[in-house]
Amino acid sequence: MSLLFSATKLGQLSLENRIVIAPMCQYSAEEGQATPWHRIHLGQLALSGAGLLIIEATAVEAIGRISPGDLGLWDDATEAALASVLQDIRRYATLPIGIQLGHAGRKASCAAPWQGGAQLSPEQGGWQTVAPSAQAFHEEDRAPAELSKEALQQLKQAFIDSAKRAVRIGIQLIEVHAAHGYLLHQFLSPLSNQRNDEYGGSLENRMRFPLEVFQAIRDAVPESVPVGVRLSATDWVEGGWDNQQSIAFSQALEQAGCAYIHVSSGGLSPQQQITVGPGYQLPYARDIRKEVNIPVIGVGLITEPLQAEQALQEQDADLIALARAVLYNPRWPWHAAAELGAQAKAPEQYLRSEPHGLKGTLVANK
């Protein structure tokens, strides 16, 4: 019996298997609004047979976008555009769909990766960024404006408003983005948070604003909608955020009603020294999993079905998230089901695609 294809739950949300499609930025929105690209991109992934699809990092305000092409959910226009995409997908896909809400902080106002990814000047369509402290990501970047306490309250409200919009358009899960060097991660790490008030200094203080944002979202949406958090377990920089602090943060989140922890790493500092290899982030997920009683999602160069199955069997994680691997092969769950002797859902229109010898691997997506 494959663990990867066994049912599980995140909060009150039931999943038919433990394959999660991680949020992946597409840099293809227009003024924050979803476009036909999102209909194509999310549509094919929604038919993949995965247990859960999480929509890419979605900005809670315009200046929170990584790039001008980032998806947003901050006003009626962005809400309507995403609602239209979801309406079409829902006609044919039955898997739960979540969304990752975030703010890029000092890493905002950048070009798309295929355009170099550098910070954009105002003349290039860029904008003033904000952060816990007035420290730029790169030395050559413009310094962000330090967020005042009043601005923090406004930002918290932006997260609340976006969460309510997500629920209104039928999103079934919310993931708070506190990873990859973006705003909430910037509060957590001592490398980027140099504040002298109650939001800086000690670990308790650095966790304060991310925990306030989480709690505000948890209080604002129905109990039936699980709220989880993605974190970077380590900055991969000496003296930065590390897995011991991540464990403390995860335990505080669990106490606040967090449904799951999604464990990634890095992204906060250009000085990071990352040791990359197959499943390289799973040890962090395993260490966190030992210290909390909520599900942990593992991610990071997990590309093969047997590798994903082994990670679950060895209790490295409770669910497995796929990112680039599922972009390269949007039918990854189908192939995994065939390899592991399990079944995956597929549209009725595609059931005849099964190769000879694998009949019965795919079941109707109803």
Q: Which residues pair with 72 in a beta bridge?
A: 59
Burial code (b: 16+ CB inside 10 Å, e: under 16) for 173-193 equals bbbbbbbbbbbbbbbbbbbbb
Looking up tokens 């930025």 gives 25
Helices H, strands E: what count in the chain?
Answer: 10, 14
**Backbone phi, psi, residue 220, to 5°:** -90, -20
Residue 230 to residue 250: CA distance in whole angstroms: 10
Three-class DSSP category at 359: coil
Q: Which of 27, 182, 199, 260 is catalytic?
A: 182
319: helix, coil or strand? strand
Residue 92 is a catalytic residue: no
SS3 284: helix
* Angle at alpha carbon of residue 208, lines to 288 and 298, rounded to 5°: 25
Dihedral angle sign, alpha carbons of residues 314, 258, 154, 199: negative
| Beta bridge partners of residue 230, listed in sequence order | 177, 262
- What residues act catalytically? 182
